[in-house]
Amino acid sequence: MGTTARVGLVVGFAGLDTPDRWPRPRSTPRPERLGASVEALHGVGPTLARRLGRIGVETVGDLLWQRPRRYEQPVPSKRISDLFGEEEAVIEVVVRSASSRRRGRLKILTARVGDDTGEIKATWFNQPWLEEKLSPGTRIRLRGRANRYGFAVSTYDLEGDVDTADFAPVYPASEDLAQKKLRDLRVQALELVREVVEPLPATLLAREGLPLRSDALTAVHKPRALAEAEAGRARLAFEELLVLRLALMRTAAQREQATAAPLDEPSELLERYRASLPFTLTKDQERSIAEIDADLERSIPMQRLLQGDVGSGKTVVALYALLRAVELGRQGALMAPTETLAEQHFLTIDELCAPLGVRVSLLTSSLRAREHNVARQLIASGDAHIVVGTHALIQKEIDFHDLAVAVVDEQHRFGVGQRSALVEGRSPHVLHLTATPIPRTLALTVYGDLEVSELAMPPANRKPIITAWVAEDRSSEAYQRLRRHLDDGRQAYVVCPLIEESETRVARAAEAEAERIRGAELKGYRVGCLHGRLRTAERRSVMASFRARELDVLVATTVIEVGVDVPNATIMIVQEADRFGLAQLHQLRGRVGRGAEQSYCLLVSRAREELSEGAVDRLEAMVSTTDGFELAERDLEIRGEGQLLGARQSGFSDLRFVRLRQDQSLLERARDAARELENEGLLAEHVDRLLDKSAHLGES
């Protein structure tokens, strides 16, 4: 395989400096072949297809649109007797024998391998299918590290293949998707790269000196050197930025025609609101409020991003903006990306509003028909002063009496289209909230001309949370520590493992875990359980008991990610922490450290060597810092920019290849190119998809 792919590459890139000599596609592309399910590839059955689906790869084409997380540098080839320390190395060996066994969920494959200088025991995790290929006498190249148990294999080449020691892409793998497999599939997909349609006009390609899309994909997945991979990436990033820019231009054109009714000076209601808060606002909160007030005086609808780390006090500011609408007899709406988030916000806001005589309604798609109707009527009549909801709020049949201010929470989880849908046909002032601190360049790129307010300092002088990473087999020590806090009169959270299947299964697992823990680690303590399948009233009562210290511990799913606020809770255990994303872990951790006491977060996971590279990076990042901004940057490095934006769906238009921190000039070129394009041409479809897809995002 090496040879043909290499020839293809040389041909493909021969024209990098002389665009007019690029070979024309052999025939009309047939993009439908790329749309075929990954099961069309050799060696992909339903199980593997499902695993790929979990990382967003459903079609053959999706494989091409995943960016390698990095490239493996060549490492020296060594003889077994020369292996020294834990340095990475490649050994070329012959298999003597192989066997496999299980340890819990883990499948361990070991092989005795040797060269003329000695023998060593090589170990693979979770790749049981390999065993049958390792018959005695098989020649194999292994890349990995020697340790006291033998040689831990990271990648390998069987027979003729020579990926491993060379410059090779490393894909975001998961524990059940081996790097080797991902590379093999990529090679198969690349055979269809000529079916990729070129959306950029030839004149633009020539002017910018950019390679064809298909060549760029080849360069990214099968580069001979880093520079080639980078040139390919930049080409694909340029296209993504161009599409994004065009989408922003479309929405901006719509918005420019909108006018909003200016709101007068804040009055008595806002004074009562301030007086009702048990604290004074921080300087940053005051400044944000002043910026919002200034926006609201204008007839151009406000478009402001309020950015602040977990616990920085965004809710108070957001509610201020909503109350500005209410004081004039108009309405405010808060849109959250998931049902549970919407409900948490509803509970928080309702509690703050009730004493002010402000009526708050909840609207989500899980309401029964009757409740839904009631809510709709309250919204239409204006009896609901503030409405909190999910994307259900932007559905056609929802008719606001007089919407003046809209707050969109967790901004980055919504796409461009969905954000504009709440605004369409009305023109409220809009405040966007984000807890994931977004680097300014990223914010400007993705949200266009949003103004940014920032809550940089947390309210009280809170102590940074101490975070530890605990291996599973020592989790009893974590619980011991937790019990000490309980014995001191503090409270705690235990976060259940993330199960992807369904909210119902997650809920059941959480209840089972609470039950188990009541009879085991936390025997004798009062343990409550919180998950997304509880009705709002039940959840409210569990939260109320926890707040009133009638419960010592909350066993919870990620519903506690946001909005849960109990300063007496000082310690959290996160089970199977390797399964959570970095942003999510940071949010979860934000549930402790809300009072003056020193707080702790204990991340429990399987042993380090059993985890994927990404999981190790995430956990290390959590231990090393509590700074949300730094974590966001690390998250960018680990996951790629696209995913920070919450664009988890697969598709062409996500920012997969962009690296915003280094792509400043590319960004400017894309912006200029967007302005100069006479029409969207073939890109129109991608712009549609970006806007349309984002309009359906968040339906979880």
| Residues near ligand ADP, by CB under 6 A | 279, 281-282, 285, 308, 310-316, 435, 459-460, 565, 594
Amino acid at 216: A
* C-alpha span between 656 and 220 (Å, rounded): 12
308 interface partner picked from Mg ion, ligand ADP, none, CB below 5 to 8 A per type: ligand ADP
Angle in degrees, 0-180, between the axes of helices 226-256 and 440-447, rounded to the nearest 10: 50
Measured from the CB atom, is 565 or 576 closer to ligand ADP?
Answer: 565
Centroid of chain to Cα 187: 27
Quick one: which of 403, 390, 430 has its CA closest to 306? 430
Measured from the CB atom, is 216 or 438 closer to ligand ADP?
Answer: 438
413 interface partner picked from ligand ADP, Mg ion, none, CB below 5 to 8 A per type: none
436 interface partner picked from Mg ion, ligand ADP, none, CB below 5 to 8 A per type: none
- Minimum CB separation of residue 349 from ligand ADP in Å reads 10
129 interface partner picked from Mg ion, ligand ADP, none, CB below 5 to 8 A per type: none
Q: Which stretch binds Mg ion (CB under 5 A): 88-96, 122-130, 308-316, 643-651?
A: 308-316
- Minimum CB separation of residue 586 from ligand ADP in Å reads 11
Residue with tokens 């993009």: 31
- Minimum CB separation of residue 212 from Mg ion in Å reads 46
- Sequence-ordered list of residues with C-beta below 8 angstroms from that of 6, at least 6 positions apart, any chain: 222
Question: Is residue 172 classed as helix, strand or coil in its secondary structure?
Answer: coil
Measured from the CB atom, is 245 or 413 closer to ligand ADP?
Answer: 413
DSSP H or E run through 417: helix 416-423
Measured from the CB atom, is 413 or 594 closer to ligand ADP?
Answer: 594
- Minimum CB separation of residue 554 from Mg ion in Å reads 18
Measured from the CB atom, is 34 or 564 closer to ligand ADP?
Answer: 564
Measured from the CB atom, is 389 or 458 closer to ligand ADP?
Answer: 458
Secondary structure E strands in 547-617: 553-556, 569-574, 600-605
By the rule CB under 5 A, 307 interacts with Mg ion: no
Q: Are strands 150-158 and 139-147 parallel, antiparallel or unpaired?
A: antiparallel
- Minimum CB separation of residue 257 from ligand ADP in Å reads 33
- Sequence-ordered list of residues with C-beta below 8 angstroms from that of 115, at least 6 positions apart, any chain: 79, 80, 91, 92, 93, 94
Measured from the CB atom, is 417 or 698 closer to Mg ion?
Answer: 698
State phi, psi for 160 to the nearest 5 degrees: -70, -20
Q: Are strands 77-78 and 88-103 parallel, antiparallel or unpaired?
A: parallel
Measured from the CB atom, is 303 or 315 closer to ligand ADP?
Answer: 315
Residue with tokens 């200034």: 294
Binding residue count for Mg ion, defined by CB under 5 A: 1
Measured from the CB atom, is 49 or 352 closer to ligand ADP?
Answer: 352
End-to-end Cα separation, the chain, in angstroms? 42
Measured from the CB atom, is 164 or 315 closer to Mg ion?
Answer: 315
Question: Is residue 520 classed as helix, strand or coil in its secondary structure?
Answer: coil
Centroid of chain to Cα 472: 25
Q: Which two tokens stand for residue 117?
A: 């200088």
Question: Could you write out the DSSP letters of every residue in 247-299?
Answer: HHHHHHHHHHT---PPP----HHHHHHHHHSSSPPPHHHHHHHHHHHHHHTSS
507 interface partner picked from ligand ADP, Mg ion, none, CB below 5 to 8 A per type: none
Residue with tokens 């020592």: 474
- Sequence-ordered list of residues with C-beta below 8 angstroms from that of 410, at least 6 positions apart, any chain: 336, 337, 341, 433, 434, 435, 436, 562, 646
281 interface partner picked from ligand ADP, Mg ion, none, CB below 5 to 8 A per type: ligand ADP
- Minimum CB separation of residue 314 from Mg ion in Å reads 5
- Minimum CB separation of residue 166 from ligand ADP in Å reads 47
* C-alpha span between 262 and 210 (Å, rounded): 47
CA distances (Å), origin 500, targets 259, 511, 558, 572: 43, 16, 12, 22
- Minimum CB separation of residue 491 from Mg ion in Å reads 20
Measured from the CB atom, is 219 or 316 closer to ligand ADP?
Answer: 316
Measured from the CB atom, is 435 or 495 closer to ligand ADP?
Answer: 435
310 interface partner picked from Mg ion, ligand ADP, none, CB below 5 to 8 A per type: ligand ADP
* C-alpha span between 265 and 272 (Å, rounded): 15
Measured from the CB atom, is 196 or 433 closer to Mg ion?
Answer: 433
- Minimum CB separation of residue 627 from ligand ADP in Å reads 15
Of residues 312-341, those binding Mg ion (CB under 5 A): 315
- Minimum CB separation of residue 312 from ligand ADP in Å reads 4
- Minimum CB separation of residue 458 from ligand ADP in Å reads 8
- Minimum CB separation of residue 617 from ligand ADP in Å reads 25
CB 451 within 8 A of CB 304: yes
Angle in degrees, 0-180, between the axes of helices 664-676 and 226-256, rounded to the nearest 10: 50
- Minimum CB separation of residue 312 from Mg ion in Å reads 9
Torsion sign (Cα): 275, 280, 286, 292: negative
Q: Which residues bind Mg ion (CB under 5 A)?
A: 315
